[in-house]
Structure 1
Amino acid sequence: MDFFFALLDYKFLQNAVIACLLASVGCGIMGSYVVVKRIGFLAGGIAHTVLAGMGIAYFLDASPVLGAVITALIAGACIGWINLHWKQNEDILIAAFWSVGMAVGILFITRTPGYSVDLMSYLFGNILLVSSGDIVLMTVLDFVIVVTVILFYKQFLAATFDEEFARLRGINIEGFYILLMCLVALTVVLLIQIVGLILVIALLTLPAASAAQVAGSVSRMMVVSVLLSIFVTVGGLAISYGPDLPAGATIVITAGIVYAFSVMGTRLIRYRQNLGNSD
């Protein structure tokens, strides 16, 4: 209850909740594609490469979020292309993106003159530091993600489930797959402020994986995933507020618990149905 009373008084908490809601939209929609397509490892490569852009932006005295967006889009396009053309070396190349990206980011951040940057806030997130400017940027990113998915929903669906059929229909599989990876990249940027680079993949996949247990279609999966993302982000933030726990870690643990219950609940229902059918 302390959290909800504080929410009425403190602007930083209001910004944090708004950020949770905005991040949940992108997370629920793109997380569904990540889970269905099983590209969590690719999304992880994008997430960790983003630190390079943030580090370079800090070194050049530019916006770190703008650096994150640019680097995420470049990494998304490159990793998508690698997945399509160099599958035999995919794991090695993405691991190189992953590790070199973080190393470059750390190098530039530590060499930034006259400014001490808290790496922990980028690695593990600090949702309580979200500013009004961050809220505006997150709104713009959400708008781009939602509008693009609405415009190309059928193409994304065909490219995700049946590539051969999509090619026969004249759909540019490579183009839409790389576009999909770029949207995943934008979602990663959305989630950095919430849980940080290290925990991005957990929040990107766990709500969607939970939704997959109960949803019968991708569109329903997206809706359920968005609602679950809102529940775990706002709920995790509320839980962390009283005992002063790290908000990002608490949010991810909450998402993990929800996923565990969804899996156990689904299996229990199926078990009872099988018992009923056997009778």
Structure 2
Amino acid sequence: MEIFELLNYAFFRNALLGSLFASIACGIIGTYVVTRRLVFISGGITHASFGGLGIGFYFGLNPIFSAMLFSVLSAFGIQWLSQKQGVREDSAIAAFWSLGMAVGIMLTFLTPGYAPNLSEYLFGNILTITRTDIFSLATLTILLFSFFAINYHAIVSVSFDTEFARTRRVNTRFIEYAMMLFVAVTIVLSIRLVGIVLLMSLITVPQMTANLFTVSYSRIISLSIAISFLACVVGLLLSYYLNVPSGAFIIFVLIVIFFAGKLLVGFRQGRSRR
């Protein structure tokens, strides 16, 4: 089947649109996460969201909504414990990470009736993205653009040096909690793309790759969005033809792009030395 023929199918068009908006959201949020060195926190929030999924399955709620609420509360909880209660950040992350996974596993197995299909949440299935998912990702993208446009300089200051930002009278607490909120929401709304297991890579690897070629905050965002969307499209097409899980293939393509970029930068540096 030709590539253009796939565009006749609604599920493929939805997958492309979902990939585009998820790439934009993850590109913006991921740059903040990588710059602030919050990768471990993002991993904790990602796995804590499983607790929200379990709550949704058990009580008959929308699992994405319950996962989002649980993730936001976990993100705020990590921030509160590490900043106000004297708990080491890695310990706070481990506590919520473990809590979310434990609650999710228990409530999933206690859910009456047929066992829920966890594979699309754990490993992702981009072909199951609905119009509602696309609308949610598009809304998130608009909110992120608006928030960054208004608070760009404050976000950049907090990303690189929180203490310096405080001396410049930046409301660092507001920025930190607002960004943690966006991190949690972005993670949950992108779960269908690559799943809980691999989602952390989607908000770190494109930024790492972009950082090989530029140190500009805005350019890292732009380049990481492009890299994410490219990996999503290539991974989606190859997974369709090879009949393998799309989420895993998207992450595989991202890793390949990263190492290719690393080799290219190393080759250029070697030539310049000579």
Band the TM-score falls in, shorter-chain normalisation: over 0.9
Q: Distance in 2 between matches of 1:231 and 1:87?
A: 42
Q: Distance in 2 between matches of 1:81 and 1:145?
A: 23
Please state how far the C-alpha of 1:200 moved relative to its aligned partner: 0.6
1:152 partner SS = helix
Paired letter, 1:165: F
Q: Distance in 2 between matches of 1:81 and 1:260?
A: 37
Change (3 A) 1:206 1:150: same
Please state how far the C-alpha of 1:87 moved relative to its aligned partner: 6.8
Q: Distance in 2 between matches of 1:245 and 1:3?
A: 18
The corresponding residue for 1:124 is 123
The corresponding residue for 1:249 is 248
1:35 aligned onto 2:34: yes
- Shifted more, 40-49 versus 2-11: the winner is 2-11
Q: Distance in 2 between matches of 1:223 and 1:161?
A: 18
Please state how far the C-alpha of 1:3 moved relative to its aligned partner: 5.8
CA contact (8 A) 1:125 1:193 kept: yes
1:48 aligned onto 2:39: no
Residue ranges of structure 2 left out of the alignment (5+ in a row): none
Change (3 A) 1:157 1:3: farther
Q: TM-score scaled by structure 2? A: 0.94
Residue ranges of structure 1 left out of the alignment (5+ in a row): none
CA contact (8 A) 1:3 1:238 kept: no
The corresponding residue for 1:65 is 64
CA contact (8 A) 1:46 1:79 kept: no
Q: Distance in 1 between matches of 2:83 and 2:269?
A: 37
Q: Distance in 2 between matches of 1:181 and 1:148?
A: 13
- Shifted more, 106-115 versus 176-185: the winner is 106-115
Change (3 A) 1:164 1:93: closer
Please state how far the C-alpha of 1:244 moved relative to its aligned partner: 0.5
Please state how far the C-alpha of 1:223 moved relative to its aligned partner: 0.4
**Identical pairs, percent:** 35
Please state how far the C-alpha of 1:83 moved relative to its aligned partner: 4.1
Paired letter, 1:161: F
Q: Distance in 2 between matches of 1:102 and 1:149?
A: 32
Q: Distance in 2 between matches of 1:151 and 1:110?
A: 45
The alignment of Structure 1 onto Structure 2 pairs a total of residues equal to: 274
Q: Distance in 1 between matches of 2:263 and 2:201?
A: 19
CA contact (8 A) 1:125 1:195 kept: yes
What do the CA deviations read for 1:166-202 (whole angstroms, capped 9, x no partner)? Answer: 1112112222112212111122113201000010111
Please state how far the C-alpha of 1:206 moved relative to its aligned partner: 0.5
The corresponding residue for 1:163 is 162
Q: TM-score scaled by structure 1? A: 0.93
Please state how far the C-alpha of 1:86 moved relative to its aligned partner: 5.8
1:9 partner SS = coil
1:139 aligned onto 2:138: yes
The corresponding residue for 2:152 is 153
Please state how far the C-alpha of 1:256 moved relative to its aligned partner: 0.3
CA contact (8 A) 2:78 2:93 kept: yes
Please state how far the C-alpha of 1:205 moved relative to its aligned partner: 0.5
Q: Distance in 1 between matches of 2:169 and 2:241?
A: 55
The corresponding residue for 1:233 is 232
The corresponding residue for 1:92 is 91
CA contact (8 A) 1:199 1:252 kept: yes
1:196 aligned onto 2:195: yes
What do the CA deviations read for 1:21-71 (whole angstroms, capped 9, x no partner)? Answer: 110001111111111111110000000011111211122211111112211
For the aligned residue pairs, the C-alpha RMSD in angstroms reads 1.6
The corresponding residue for 2:104 is 105
Paired letter, 2:3: F
CA contact (8 A) 1:77 1:179 kept: no
The corresponding residue for 1:207 is 206
The corresponding residue for 2:76 is 77
What do the CA deviations read for 1:197-220 (whole angstroms, capped 9, x no partner)? Answer: 010111110011100111231001
